[in-house]
Amino acid sequence: MGRLERYILVTSGGAFLAVLVVLTSMIWLTQALRRFDLITSQGQTFKVFLVITGLSLPTLMLVTAPIALFIAIVYTLNKLNNDSELIVMSAAGVSPWRVFRPFLLLSVVVAAISVMISVDFSPRSLRGLRDQLTTVNADIVTNVAIPGRFTSIERDLTFHVRERGPGGVLLGIFIDDARSSAETTTYIAERGLIVQSDAGTFLVLEQGSLHRGGGAGKNTSTVEFERYAFDLSQFGAASAASLKRPGFRTLAELMWPAPDDQLYQADPGRFRVELHKRLSTPLYPLAAFVVAFAFLGSPRTTRQSRGLAISGAVVAFMVIEITGLGSGGLVQRSALFSPLPYFLPLVGIVVGLISIAGLVEARVPASLQRLADAIAARIDRLQAA
């Protein structure tokens, strides 16, 4: 690789990393704020908060990587043209394919990393995320529940303890379970103790009462008890069941599900969507690169506006991305639509390569180009005045 290729690769690679970090951080921040209750209401440490939110980063990078690559290539090509470097290269006899090669290398690297994340890192991180959430839910009652504070173990399930006694005894226990739409169950007990057994983990309540009610206008009932075992293992069981979802499975499990897999038999469409989404992952970074280069790879003088060319590249890339994301619903309905996640990025790659080869011109109509140039010239004159 010559100095020219290294220069282009370093410039575009640096831009890609910068954009990837910014985009992923922005999306991660919105996800992290949704988990901030781990600290505020569930008493977890900041380290646990970072671990849980950080496990979503591989999945987020699958979404942001093609967009970051597209922005990086558009930025690099526009910078090379504005600095007249593309024009000088063309005048010196440098082939467009020589400029093409470093961008291709960067795109292949991004596509390869996307495949590794999609096949291995993403399902593994999702399983790790679920394991961490399961651990947090199990530890809320035993270790984290702060006396005097109402703690949400999960949605519509609130736990409160007045104080802790010696030997791990919990005093003044209040549990409000509104997870059922039919009725709300409230447990009140003088004391309780966490008990581990072969059957699972239980919070054994003593000297208390159980109140059931269906809301205003419906009958309520109260039952007093000496001892009552509240099952804490249900949270882990729910998590274990979620591990069977398509997003948590390896590529081999998606391609060859077990014949007796009840979840697959109940909804094979979800498995089909996840499988084709993973297999089509490397096509989108390549399509982002080819589309950007087809519109912006040719040199232009400073008198020629590149705004419409950039707009055309953005529109073409958005169509590919949005169609790829939106094809999941059709693929889930019928296997006949399975080629959709591959079709449009492949069309963008093929048409873009034909355009780069000079057989088709990926430019805006001349009339629109002249109009854009006139508007740009008018703006320049107004700014000068």
Q: What is the pLDDT of residue 142?
A: 56
199 within some domain: yes
- What pLDDT band is residue 237 in, cutting at 50, 70 and 90? very low
CB contact at 8 A, 344 and 319: yes
Q: What is the pLDDT of residue 360?
A: 65
At 297, give phi and psi (nearest 5°).
-75, -20
Residue by residue, DSSP assigns 49-110 as: HHHHHHTTHHHHHHHHHHHHHHHHHHHHHHHHHHTTHHHHHHHTT--HHHHHHHHHHHHHHH
Same-domain status, 151 and 127 = no
Across the strands, what pairs with 173? 161, 189
Same-domain status, 82 and 191 = no
Flag the least confident range among 102-106, 114-118, 166-170, 348-352: 166-170
Same-domain status, 380 and 359 = yes
Question: Mean pLDDT over residues 116-140, rounded?
Answer: 75
Flag the least confident range among 57-66, 252-261, 300-309, 343-352: 300-309
Which has the higher per-residue pLDDT, 286 or 305?
286
Which has the higher per-residue pLDDT, 67 or 332?
67
Q: What is the pLDDT of residue 12?
A: 92
Judge whether residue 290 has pLDDT over 90.
yes
Same-domain status, 9 and 111 = yes
Q: According to the per-residue pLDDT averaged within each range, which of 12-26, 42-56, 156-170, 218-232 is highest?
A: 12-26
370 within some domain: yes
Same-domain status, 193 and 289 = no
Q: What is the pLDDT of residue 333?
A: 85
Q: What is the pLDDT of residue 384?
A: 66
Which has the higher per-residue pLDDT, 270 or 199?
270
Of 174, 199, 232, which marks where a domain is finished?
232
**Domain of 182, in residue numbers:** 145-232
What mean pLDDT value characterizes the chain? 80
Which has the higher per-residue pLDDT, 259 or 284?
284
Judge whether residue 87 has pLDDT over 70.
yes
Helix ranges (H only) for the chain are 3-34, 37-40, 46-54, 57-82, 85-91, 96-116, 122-139, 233-242, 251-255, 262-266, 268-279, 283-296, 307-333, 340-356, 366-384
Q: What is the pLDDT of residues 320-374, one digit of tens each?
A: 988 888 888 888 888 888 888 899 899 999 988 898 887 766 555 666 666 666 7
Spatial CA neighbour of 278 closest among 341, 349, 344 = 341
- What pLDDT band is residue 298 in, cutting at 50, 70 and 90? confident
270 within some domain: no
Of 232, 260, 293, which marks where a domain is finished?
232
Residue by residue, DSSP assigns 357-383 as: TTSS-----HHHHHHHHHHHHHHHHHH
Count of structural domains within the chain: 2
Q: What is the pLDDT of residue 126?
A: 79
Spatial CA neighbour of 193 closest among 182, 207, 178 = 207
Which has the higher per-residue pLDDT, 30 or 6?
6
268 within some domain: no
